Amino acid sequence: VQVIARNAEAGHDRVHARPNKSAASSATKMQEDSESAVDRMDVDVEDDSENTDDSDEERSESMAPLGLAQQSYAGTHSNPLGRPHVFSPEAASSSAAKKPDAIARFHEQRAAMLGATGSAGHGWYLVLHADDIHSSTQIADAIREFLGTSNYYTDSLLQKVIRALRLYGQLVIWGNLETVSQIGATQFHLWMDRDGVACGRVGAMMVERFNRLTKHRLFCGLVTRDELMMEQRAVALLQWLSEVARSCDPLCQAVAECILPNRHLVPLLRADFKMSARVTKAWYSLLLTLLAVPTFKSHLAAAYCDTYRYVTSKYARGMGVLERSGYTLSVQFLNRVTYVVDLVKGRDLLGKLGKSLLETMLVACRSKHLNGRLDPNHFVLTHRRYSPCISDLKCVLNVKGMPRLFACKGGSFLWDWIDTLSISQQMDPQHWRTWKQGHVEDESRGWVGAFNASISLGSLFERLLGWDDNEQSPISDPASPLSKELMSCSELSYHILLDGVFAWQKKEMHLYQATPLQSTEQHKFAPGSLPFSTVSASNGTAVAMHHLPVAQNTSFSFHLPLHRFIAGCLRELCLRRDDALSGISSLLQRLSIGLGDKDCDHLFLGLMEFPLLIVSRAAQVRAGLWRRNGAGLSDQVLNYSEPPFCRTMRDADLLLVQFSVLGRTLNQSPNSTPQATDVGMAFFVNLLLHRLGVFEFCGLRRAPDEFISRYVEETEKGLYTAEPKAKDSSSSDLVLPSSYSPANDQASFLVLLEEFLYCIIIFTSELPQVAPSDRNKHTEQARQRLHREVVHRLASGPKTHSELLEVHHVMSHWDNLLLSEEGKLINPDDATGAALGKVLEEVADRKSSSKLEADKWGIKRDAWKIYDPSFHHISLRMHQTAAENRPKPVVDKASPWGQTAQPYVPEPPEAHPIFDRLRRDATSDAATLAVAYRVLHMHMREKTDRDTSHLPGRLAYDKDKSETALARAVHLLTLGVYAWTKSSRSDDYWRGHGGGSPGSIFYDWGGNVAPVLSDWVEAVLLADPAIVTGTEWYRGEENLLTLLRRLAIAGGEAGSFTAQDVCVSGGAAWICETAAKHSFAAKDLVRPRLKDANASSKKMSLAERQRR
């Protein structure tokens, strides 16, 4: 059996083996005569194989069955004949002319060697091995070309051949009979008699036949007749041994003791993909029987670990089928603590798994002149050849204590993991097709492989980070590097940010260059800086901002696994106590100390730019601006932004943007040094407006156009880059920053406006929650999150229990673990289902169905109070259905609104203290509030006949309107009320708690006390619209509270837009009442008019008001 393994290795490598002196001496007299001529030549003949990558050591092993001992010599290159290079003046004078002759003689010697070996083995047989990366059509074409055009084979016959190949794992497609028909009986007998010429001819023929298959990337091997006969004996032997081992335990022990680790297990595992399918089937059957012996299992685990990188390298290059490989055995020992600890400690199992995963991904890398990124159409990604590494890593990480070793400085896995994520960045880039281009004709399916790779890598994130900072290493040996230098989560995040993210971003950002506007089309224009709005510049920001030069046609990718792994680290940090040693504060402190101001700004710039580019492009796809790229792009957006994969993609990008807002403050205002309490909210809002392409549609005016002198001064200070000039422009020409939008009609702009408001809403609402104080508190938080997820799934209609189990895909690993432990107390057999059932009893009623259908659960009326119309874990279609199902406000004739005033959205969950300030920052940002006013004004204004020709973004005031945008504006203002209700006059550190950064309406707050809700009401709801929007056109228009009051009364008045959803008008009424409670000016504005409005509303019936 050991010989079988050795011959299997040789069968794949012997065609490309390099003959040396011993091979030449065993060949014919012709090769011996030509040997001296070749030896004089200083030539390095390269291997002509396209798909062999064996090292010299592997080649030596493959030649061993042939009796060839390849020698090793020092030097850069090895001589094809196994001799050291010797300089020869005679050869040097004519090396160019003699080199082709040397190559020809080299191939002649190799052919003679193969012929002699086949003659000694009584004939050559060419064996084709099955794989799962070639389709039936590809294999049929390769076989048809292999057999030649002189032979006609029908498609049905070839399909039978292919089915047999896949069924049995291999197929002999060339043997002695075909050789006789090719060269004749006389030459065949001469070959069997080891005639030199005949051996060379047969060897050359077999090489040529071999290459016909390998050029199609098929895997095949050359075996002799003797080896085939020996293989049959080996199968019988293995089957007999299996029967013996199964007969009784003592014989099983005896058979196990006869199979030695290094002599038998290692060679057989190395030849895993090269042995006959019949041999491997019998071999695995024997192994499964012998695994009952603990000593044998430990020996097999050690051999599996020792051969892992070699076998994986073959599998990564397309060899073998997963179902017929040794990978299926790993679950027998990689889920056992004892074996895993021993392998990690003594054989560096984690390091080998990480290195194997990296090497597998590197196979799919493009060349450097093709950007060096992973090729999504490569079979490594399309056929998931990395999956064994991922599966084995999951098994190992499920063993208690193993995830803690991920943060060990002395191990190699961490650094290989960073490299793996780095090369997986920006897979499958997408390019926008302009309006002038037609619809894409052939859609590539490479995106499927890219998403599978991202999802597989993302499935390891929480497993790798599933440990506590005070957890000790499972390796107790003090001499082992894995037993010490364990980093905390904060320190680990810092190293990944510096050694991974920062290094990758620094290299990637060089690819983005600003372009002159005059020299290119608008969609190709990448500005050097982005203009702030005049309303932001009037509230403390600079007039423009530094950014990553991105044009509309700049490619983007949905895949940022390295950034998203950092998002996973941030989630874990939010679960830890926030102090100088752990938590988010610790990480921010490490970054401020370890990086200079400029490097820190570049780091946070990339953390904001790259994820936000994906978020904005996904929004453009939903708006229909990328439909020329095909339906496949819409499918990618669904996978990116909706369950079950949104947690590791869109949600991770959102967290990165939130974190970057905390850290990116440099050059946001004209002041050279930012305040310690500043955050980059103005950066985020302005960047989102430009990336979506709604800056001008929202009626915002570019600050550089209004403050030219400030722009020149700030560019000279280096706050941002000046715009590049075209070659034909003079040096005195001043080029100002501009903006661009791919939308060309009002409908597209309205959808983009809805997307902008949606992004701001989920940015404000979905913040990391407060860190739990203990395990019980963490369990309670997990139950609340499950409660919230279930309610929103039920809002769109009744669901079965199995459908609701899908909510666990968007919950964290810790939440599912804690809920499962709680569920075990109820039902140990179905812990997850028990935890879900407990929540369902609180929020839903069970509805019996027919005998053929499962019972469904319907939401209770009381549970609707936590429904959020912009909840990000259900689709827009489900929200539309939920809006129809949502209970309407109770009719209240005594109320001035005609119905009960109730908030449009519930109060968001309590946020982490570091992130909580972002709610005040977002709801006090001047540009955001200007957009909110604009939305309400374009829908609820009274003077609908006023000239808008000179108004920026006048297209918004055309006939079409969007109730979704109106509802989201009310949603955003409701969040503002919630955020500022918690403010206190006595808060001396109010800027650190949010609301006072550049771009905020309270940036120039000069009061001796902190601003509170009443100040927010006066600065937002009661302020002059010209100040709110930064545009004089709005001077004298109705303020925001007046517009909200009009919306609250039956959804609008005659002549203006009428909201159909009474929940929106009820939400507007709640804001008005809340404002009236906290501001006398708001009370005076709302209450007197309510009486008039109530009197006029009595003239129409309740049904009419609801219809309107």
Residue type at 96?
A
How many whole angstroms separate alpha carbon 650 and alpha carbon 564? 9
- Long-range CB pairs of 630-635 (<8 Å, 24+ gap) are 630/439, 630/440, 630/443, 631/443, 632/443, 632/444, 632/445, 632/447, 633/430, 635/447
Higher pLDDT, 1107 or 475: 475
Tokens of 937: 């004004």
pLDDT over threshold 80, residue 371: no
Distance of CA 368 to the CA centre of its chain: 22
Across 46-60, 623-637, 896-910, least confident range: 46-60
In degrees and rounded to multiples of 5, residue 174 shows phi and psi of -155, 130
How many C-beta atoms surround the C-beta of residue 1099 within 10 A?
7
Across 688-692, 957-961, 963-967, least confident range: 957-961
How many C-beta atoms surround the C-beta of residue 1077 within 10 A?
12
- In our burial notation (b when 16+ CB lie closer than 10 A, e otherwise), range 421-443 reads bbbbbbbbebebbeeeeeebeee
pLDDT over threshold 50, residue 73: no
Tell me, what's the pLDDT at 55?
Answer: 40
Strands 856-859 and 799-800: antiparallel
Over residues 457-468, the mean pLDDT reads 95
The three-state secondary structure class of 552 is coil
Please indicate, yes or no, whether the overall pTM of this predicted structure exceeds 0.75: yes
Edge-to-edge strands, sheet with 856-859: 799-800, 856-859, 844-847
Q: Which DSSP letter does residue 269 get?
A: H
- Long-range CB pairs of 721-725 (<8 Å, 24+ gap) are 721/514, 721/528, 721/529, 721/546, 722/528, 722/529, 723/514, 723/516, 723/517, 723/527, 723/528, 723/529, 724/514, 724/515, 724/516, 724/528, 725/516, 725/518
Distances (CA, A) of 530 to 350, 617, 720, 937: 46, 18, 9, 27
Task: Please tell me the chain's helix, strand, coil percentages from 3-state DSSP, rounded to the nearest 5.
Answer: 60, 5, 35
pLDDT over threshold 60, residue 50: no
Q: Which DSSP letter does residue 374 get?
A: B
Across 239-243, 253-257, 692-696, 822-826, least confident range: 822-826
pLDDT class for 1098, splitting at 50, 70, 90?
very low
How many whole angstroms separate alpha carbon 902 and alpha carbon 1063? 8
Strands (E), 804-900: 844-847, 856-859
- The model's pLDDT over 310-319, given as tens digits with 9 standing for 90+, comes to 999 999 999 8
pLDDT class for 13, splitting at 50, 70, 90?
low
- The model's pLDDT over 667-679, given as tens digits with 9 standing for 90+, comes to 999 987 889 999 9
Tell me, what's the pLDDT at 908?
Answer: 96
Residue type at 388?
P
Is residue 753 within 8 A of residue 967, CB to CB? The reply is: no
How many whole angstroms separate alpha carbon 332 and alpha carbon 288? 9
How many whole angstroms separate alpha carbon 407 and alpha carbon 415? 10
Is residue 64 within 8 A of residue 3, CB to CB? The reply is: no
pLDDT over threshold 70, residue 150: no
- The model's pLDDT over 961-984, given as tens digits with 9 standing for 90+, comes to 999 999 999 999 999 999 999 999
Place of tokens 């009719």: 891
Q: List all residues 6 or more positions away from 170 whose beta carbon is below 8 Å from its beta carbon.
A: 127, 128, 129, 130, 276, 277
Q: List all residues 6 or more positions away from 35 whose beta carbon is below 8 Å from its beta carbon.
A: 21, 24, 81
Distance of CA 757 to the CA centre of its chain: 25
Across 82-96, 591-605, 636-650, 1042-1056, least confident range: 82-96
Strands 844-847 and 170-174: unpaired
- The model's pLDDT over 538-584, given as tens digits with 9 standing for 90+, comes to 999 999 999 999 999 999 999 999 999 999 999 999 999 888 788 89
How many whole angstroms separate alpha carbon 23 and alpha carbon 670? 78
Is residue 576 within 8 A of residue 489, CB to CB? The reply is: yes
Tell me, what's the pLDDT at 366?
Answer: 86
Tokens of 240: 């007999």
Nearest CA to 683 among 696, 665, 699? Answer: 665
Nearest CA to 1025 among 1043, 1012, 1013? Answer: 1043
pLDDT over threshold 80, residue 1106: no
Work out the angle between the directed axes of helices 294-306 and 337-347 (0-180°, nearest 10).
40
Distances (CA, A) of 781 to 550, 577, 837, 874: 40, 16, 17, 20
Distance of CA 254 to the CA centre of its chain: 50
- Highest mean pLDDT, choosing among 34-43, 408-417, 472-481, 718-727: 408-417
Work out the angle between the directed axes of helices 277-290 and 249-258 (0-180°, nearest 10).
120
pLDDT class for 104, splitting at 50, 70, 90?
confident
How many whole angstroms separate alpha carbon 191 and alpha carbon 180? 10
How many whole angstroms separate alpha carbon 737 and alpha carbon 757? 24
Q: Which DSSP letter does residue 895 get?
A: S
Residue type at 422?
S
Q: Which DSSP letter does residue 544 get?
A: E
1007 Ramachandran zone, left/alpha/beta (phi>0; psi -120 to 50): beta
pLDDT over threshold 90, residue 832: no
Over residues 1009-1032, the mean pLDDT reads 95
Peptide bond into 644 cis (omega under 30): yes
Q: Is the dihedral of CA 516, 521, 526, 529 positive or negative?
A: positive
- The model's pLDDT over 431-457, given as tens digits with 9 standing for 90+, comes to 999 888 888 888 888 999 999 999 999
